[in-house]
Structure 1
Amino acid sequence: MDSQTPSVPSARSPVRSRERSGPDVPESNRSRRAEAGVARIRPMSHATTEPFASRQIRLTAPPRFDLEAVVHAHGWWNLPPFRWDEAGGVIATAAEIDDLPTDLSLSQPSPLRILVEWTGAAAEPAVASVARRMLMLDSDLAEFQRRCARPRRLRHVVENGLGRLLRAPTLWEDVVKVLCTTNVNWGGTRGMSERLVKSFGARTPLGHRTFPSPQRLARRRPATLAGKARLGYRAGALSTMARAIVAGELDLAAWEDPAPATEELLADILTIKGLGPYAAASILALVERYDFLPVDSVFMNHVTNVHFKGERPTRAAAERVYRNWGRWKYLAYWFER
Structure 2
Amino acid sequence: MGNPINLTCSRHLLHLPLGECITTFNLEDAMCNHGFFMMAPNSWIPSTKTLQRPLRLANSTTSVMVSISHPPNNSSILIQVHDIQNISLEDEKGILKQVGRMLRISEGDERSVREFQNMHPEAKKRGLGRLFRSPTLFEDAVKSILLCHCKWTRTLDMARALCELQIKALENFPSSKELATLTKDYLKKRCKLRYRACHIFELAERAEKGKLKLKLKKTSSYEEIFDKLSKIKGFGPYACATLMMCIGFYQMVPMDTETKRHLQQTKKENAKEDIKRIYDKYAPFQALSFWLELLEYYEIKFGKLNMLPNFSYHIVTGS
TM-score by length of 1: 0.78
Structure-to-structure mapping, 1:1-337, within 5 angstroms: 37-40=1-4, 47-48=9-10, 53-60=11-18, 61-98=21-58, 99=60, 100-111=62-73, 112-119=75-82, 121=87, 123-138=91-106, 139=109, 140=111, 141-149=113-121, 155=122, 157-199=123-165, 201=166, 203-204=168-169, 208-248=170-210, 250-252=211-213, 254=215, 257-308=217-268, 312-336=269-293, 337=296
Distance in 1, Cα, partners of 2:225 & 2:32: 27
Distance in 2, Cα, partners of 1:62 & 1:305: 36
Structure 1, 296-305 or 61-70: larger mean CA deviation: 61-70
Secondary structure at the residue paired with 2:48? coil
Q: Is the 8 A contact 1:40 1:88 kept in 2?
A: no
Deviant stretches of 4+, over 4 Å: none
Amino acid at match of 2:204: A
Deviation at 1:244, TM superposition (A): 1.4
Identical pairs, percent = 24
Q: Is the 8 A contact 1:41 1:90 kept in 2?
A: no
Change (3 A) 1:253 1:268: closer
Deviation at 1:58, TM superposition (A): 4.2
1:209-265 superposed Cα distances (whole Å, 9 cap, x missing partner): 2110000111111001101111010000011111112123x13353x5444221111
Secondary structure at the residue paired with 2:285? helix
1:252-293 superposed Cα distances (whole Å, 9 cap, x missing partner): 353x54442211110110011111111111100101110111
Change (3 A) 1:257 1:251: farther
Secondary structure at the residue paired with 1:93? strand
Amino acid at match of 2:98: V
Q: Is the 8 A contact 2:17 2:77 kept in 1?
A: yes
1:117-168 superposed Cα distances (whole Å, 9 cap, x missing partner): 224546211111111111011212111101112xxxxx2x111321111111
Distance in 2, Cα, partners of 1:165 & 1:252: 21
Change (3 A) 1:214 1:229: same
Distance in 1, Cα, partners of 2:129 & 2:253: 15
Secondary structure at the residue paired with 1:123? helix
Larger proportion of helix = 2
Distance in 1, Cα, partners of 2:220 & 2:291: 24
Q: Which runs of 5+ in 2 are unaligned?
A: 297-319
Distance in 1, Cα, partners of 2:251 & 2:275: 15
Distance in 1, Cα, partners of 2:230 & 2:16: 38
Amino acid at match of 2:180: A
Q: Is the 8 A contact 1:202 1:211 kept in 2?
A: no
Change (3 A) 1:247 1:202: farther
> Cα RMSD (Å) of the superposition?
1.9
Q: Is the 8 A contact 1:81 1:210 kept in 2?
A: yes
Amino acid at match of 2:275: A
Deviation at 1:108, TM superposition (A): 0.7
1:196-217 superposed Cα distances (whole Å, 9 cap, x missing partner): 0102x2634xxx2211000011
Q: Is the 8 A contact 2:2 2:45 kept in 1?
A: yes
Amino acid at match of 2:119: R
Secondary structure at the residue paired with 1:313? coil
TM-score by length of 2: 0.82
Q: Is the 8 A contact 1:291 1:327 kept in 2?
A: yes
Amino acid at match of 1:280: C
Q: Which runs of 5+ in 1 are unaligned?
A: 1-36, 150-154
